[in-house]
Structure 1
Amino acid sequence: MKKPVLSLSALFLALGLSGNALAQPSQGQQTTPGQAPAAETPRPAQPALGESSDISDDEVARFADAQQRVEEIKGAYRVKVQENTEQPQQAMEVQREAQQKMVQAVKDSGLEVRKYNQIAQLAQYDADLRERIEKRR
């Protein structure tokens, strides 16, 4: 069975990012009941993250290595978090520890967390990049 190509949530959380932050409506775009919403500017299908062709083979290899380590850490800590569901403070501490280890695993692979997240996001939209990552596993 193949492992998922993307494992972002923990790293996004470690950086203080979330999907909600990306999906927030623009300020000042309010409507009243019965009023049609103002026309929005078209959004690109892919966030402005650069091109996957800008990702070197070395970065792809580092990403694949980091992703494997992140998945291992997530697996190891998932049980620890579940064991502490009755103690929310302890569970949060375990999650923080896991996030720190995942960030360190990315850095140990030779990538910055920002670059890791960029590659992971691009891979969501780019089948060729996903294939390049899979070949490195």
Structure 2
Amino acid sequence: MVFERKPPQNVSPISGEVVRITNDNTRRIRIVEQSLESSRNRISSLEERLIDEIGDIKKWMDQLSTDVKEVAKNLKNIKAEILRINKELDRTARRSEINELESLLDLYNPIKSHFVTREEVVRILERELKKI
């Protein structure tokens, strides 16, 4: 074409360099964008996992709290039962008291002991007095 404008000869190498640099920068920008998108996807995935983990931890903590309350309740019941048993033991006879009662029963047992009646004591005394 006749009327077509021809670029100046010294501009062509510069424009080629500009196009090359622009293409290189575009390629770099695409790489950075892909890396950024990949990072966003990983962050999104981590956020979802973190939310799931937090939910699981909350459930675990609730269960742990329930278990601790139940253990505390059981411990309270055990303490009350121990106090009741101690009070009951205080009302029961001890071994020394039982031994003392056994010895008293042995002492007053008519089968093992020899009791005398009043008349027998009087007769024995009269007999002994006669001997003197």
Aligning the two structures, in what range does the TM-score lie when normalised by the shorter sequence?
A: under 0.3
- Counting helix residues as a fraction of each chain, which structure ranks higher? 2
Bigger radius of gyration: 2
Higher relative contact order (CA 8 A, sep 6+): 1
Q: Please give the TM-score of this superposition, normalised by the length of structure 1.
A: 0.23
